């Protein structure tokens, strides 16, 4: 059954591949529109890299949200092929009106309408595959170009996994279509797996920063805590200023044993591109770097790095990441101090602070993973933007198994008060008018209660 679903999905993707091939042959510039997070940027990158390798041309826009107005503007452009990656499925109604050929390569919950004949719609949900953990937007996009060229594009499969990491689809390794993509990457020999400590910036930062900046998996007492990390390293007899790569073998073993005591998941499979420079070698860290580009609205920078730009572009991106990490540390201090606001069936964070607003989603997840916030309730983060509130929601796999569907709950609750929302069962978003905040929170609480039966 599973294989049959995958087979139907791959068949759909091959239709897209033929479409891309046709437009490259006709020398058409291909218009790519993608989402602004790590998954969206890798999605645009995998398509753009494939087109580039085949001698084709592309024009890319990275946007935070696809609106009806934006699709209307696109309709005025004279391109013959539009590719929507990591977005588009929810906007099918408007995309259907485009007169050109269209590929949608998405993994968010799709609108319940049929695609027109000129639209190839790739989305795991259409084939009974779970888009929140079995395939990312960059994965859907990779499938759309997988068979392109003489030898296919398996050497680009790693971009699909960068996106999967960006969308947190790798909690216990990769499964389903993500696993198929992983096998493509291994087969191409561009990608390697080995077991090691999953701490970040092993060759760039002093050890205490590597520990404090490690978010996945979270390390209680160390993640987000520079002082805690220093104290921990002093206690186990290691210099906190040394870099991980400069540790002796026996020192690495001490560190490994002590970190495993805090969280066994810290020693796990690492996915790397050995031929890459150290800063981009680890796929998960590559995703973090793209995420900081995205969060700072430097989408071109992130995409440029994926297309091979190094040196200055990379320095700028790493600089952004440093600033972003400093903000995360402050954010972690904030939730440690304030905690979350609790209703019966969910908890939330609210802020009007410019810096906090950008990182609230991340600190909410990390806060739950290291026990600063309760894990038995979904969490919403509410960021005020003038007259609106931007909401993002996350929960755990366990809560989803109990019936929680945040995409549906946020969609229903926001619509009732003139907003809009949607997404995945485990992670979703919405926008509501500021003056409906309390009504929204109460209704959302009722909906989650109802979902929990
Ligand atoms: Mn995505």
The DSSP bridge pattern shows strands 101-105 and 119-122 to be: parallel
Q: How far is the CA of 193 from the centre of ligand 1 (A)?
A: 23
Average pLDDT, the chain: 96
Contact (Cβ atoms closer than 8 angstroms) between residue 438 and residue 331: no
CATH of domain 339-451: 3.10.310.40
- CATH 1.10.8 range(s) for the chain read 192-272
Query: Which backbone phi and psi does 445 adopt, to 5 degrees?
Result: -60, -45
**pLDDT for res 358:** 84
**pLDDT for res 440:** 97
**Structure confidence by residue, pLDDT tens digits, 46-94:** 999 999 999 999 999 999 989 999 999 999 999 999 999 999 999 999 9
Q: How far is the CA of 35 from the centre of ligand 1 (A)?
A: 8
| Second CATH level (architecture) for the domain 192-272 | Orthogonal Bundle (1.10)
Q: How far is the CA of 39 from the centre of ligand 1 (A)?
A: 5
Q: How far is the CA of 12 from the centre of ligand 1 (A)?
A: 19
Q: How far is the CA of 367 from the centre of ligand 1 (A)?
A: 22
Q: How far is the CA of 359 from the centre of ligand 1 (A)?
A: 17
Q: How far is the CA of 98 from the centre of ligand 1 (A)?
A: 23
**Structure confidence by residue, pLDDT tens digits, 327-349:** 999 999 999 999 999 999 999 99
Q: How far is the CA of 85 from the centre of ligand 1 (A)?
A: 9
Q: How far is the CA of 139 from the centre of ligand 1 (A)?
A: 9
The helices-and-strands tally (H runs, E runs) of the chain is: 18, 13
Q: How far is the CA of 424 from the centre of ligand 1 (A)?
A: 10
Q: In what order do the strands lie in the sheet with 341-342?
A: 341-342, 347-351, 379-385, 388-394, 427-433, 420-423
Domain 2-189 has CATH 3.90.1640.30: yes
Q: How far is the CA of 47 from the centre of ligand 1 (A)?
A: 15
Q: How far is the CA of 165 from the centre of ligand 1 (A)?
A: 10
**Structure confidence by residue, pLDDT tens digits, 401-415:** 999 999 999 999 999
Question: Cα 449 from chain centroid?
Answer: 28
Q: Rounded to whole angstroms, how far apart are CA atoms 294 and 7?
A: 33
Q: How far is the CA of 255 from the centre of ligand 1 (A)?
A: 34
| Confidence grade of residue 15 (pLDDT, cut at 50, 70, 90) | very high
* Higher local confidence (pLDDT), 152 or 422: 152
**pLDDT for res 1:** 61
Cis peptide before 262 (omega within 30 of 0): no
Phi and psi based region of residue 37 (left: phi greater than 0; alpha: psi -120 to 50; beta: remaining) = beta
Q: How far is the CA of 168 from the centre of ligand 1 (A)?
A: 9
| Confidence grade of residue 424 (pLDDT, cut at 50, 70, 90) | confident
| Confidence grade of residue 295 (pLDDT, cut at 50, 70, 90) | confident
Q: How far is the CA of 253 from the centre of ligand 1 (A)?
A: 36
Phi and psi based region of residue 149 (left: phi greater than 0; alpha: psi -120 to 50; beta: remaining) = left
Q: How far is the CA of 141 from the centre of ligand 1 (A)?
A: 11
* Higher local confidence (pLDDT), 1 or 74: 74
- CATH 3.90.1640.30 range(s) for the chain read 2-189
Per-residue tokens: 237: 């007899």
Q: How far is the CA of 197 from the centre of ligand 1 (A)?
A: 26
Q: Please determine, for residue 172, whether its predicted confidence score (pLDDT) is greater than 80.
A: no
| Predicted structure pTM score | 0.88
Q: 280-284 long-range contacts, Cβ below 8 Å, gap at least 24?
A: 280/305, 280/314, 282/200, 283/158, 283/161, 283/162, 283/165, 283/191, 284/165, 284/170, 284/198, 284/216
What is the SS3 assignment for 146-158?
Answer: CCCCCCCCHHHHH
Q: Rounded to whole angstroms, how far apart are CA atoms 200 and 202?
A: 6
Q: How far is the CA of 132 from the centre of ligand 1 (A)?
A: 8
Helix/strand/coil for 41: helix
């Amino acid at each position: 059954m599973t294989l049959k679903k995958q087979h139907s999905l791959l068949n759909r993707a091959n239709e897209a591949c033929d479409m891309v091939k046709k437009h490259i042959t006709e020398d058409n510039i291909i218009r790519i529109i993608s989402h602004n997070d790590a998954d969206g940027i890798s999605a645009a990158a995998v398509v753009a890299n494939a087109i580039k390798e085949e001698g084709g041309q592309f024009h890319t826009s990275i946007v935070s949200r696809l609106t009806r107005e934006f699709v209307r503007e696109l309709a005025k452009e004279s391109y013959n092929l539009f590719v929507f990656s990591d977005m588009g499925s929810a906007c099918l109604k408007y995309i259907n009106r485009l007169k050109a050929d269209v590929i949608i390569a998405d993994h968010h919950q799709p609108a319940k309408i049929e695609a027109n004949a000129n639209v190839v719609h790739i989305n795991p949900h259409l084939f009974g595959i779970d888009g929140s953990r079995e395939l990312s937007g960059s994965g859907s996009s990779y499938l759309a170009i997988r068979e392109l060229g003489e030898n296919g594009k398996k050497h680009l499969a790693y971009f699909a996994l960068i996106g999967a990491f960006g969308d947190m689809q790798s909690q216990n390794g990769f499964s389903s279509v993500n696993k198929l993509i992983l096998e493509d990457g291994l087969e191409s020999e561009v990608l390697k797996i080995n077991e090691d400590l999953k701490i970040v910036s092993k060759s760039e930062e002093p050890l205490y920063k590597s520990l404090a900046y490690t978010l996945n998996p979270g390390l209680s007492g160390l993640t987000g805590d520079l002082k805690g990390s220093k104290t921990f390293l002093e206690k186990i007899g290691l210099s906190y200023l040394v870099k991980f790569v400069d540790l002796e073998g026996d020192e690495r073993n001490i560190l490994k044993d002590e970190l495993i005591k805090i969280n066994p998941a810290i020693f796990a499979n690492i996915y790397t591109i050995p031929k890459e420079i150290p800063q981009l070698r680890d796929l998960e860290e590559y995703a973090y770097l793209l995420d900081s580009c995205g969060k700072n609205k430097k989408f071109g920078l992130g995409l440029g790095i994926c297309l091979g730009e190094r040196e200055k572009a990379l320095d700028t991106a790493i600089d952004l990441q440093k600033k972003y990490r400093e903000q995360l540390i402050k954010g972690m201090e904030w939730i440690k101090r304030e905690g979350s606001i609790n209703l019966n069936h969910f908890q939330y964070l609210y802020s009007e602070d410019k810096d906090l607003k950008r990182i609230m989603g991340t600190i909410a997840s990390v806060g739950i993973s290291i026990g600063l916030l309760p894990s038995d309730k979904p969490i919403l983060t509410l960021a005020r933007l003038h007259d609106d509130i931007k909401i993002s929601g996350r929960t755990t796999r366990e809560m989803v198994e109990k019936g929680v569907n945040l995409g549906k709950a946020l969609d229903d609750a926001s619509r009732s008060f003139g907003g809009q929302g949607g997404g995945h069962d485990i992670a979703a978003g919405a926008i509501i008018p500021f003056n409906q905040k309390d009504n929204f929170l109460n209704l959302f609480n009722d909906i989650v209660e109802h979902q929990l039966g």
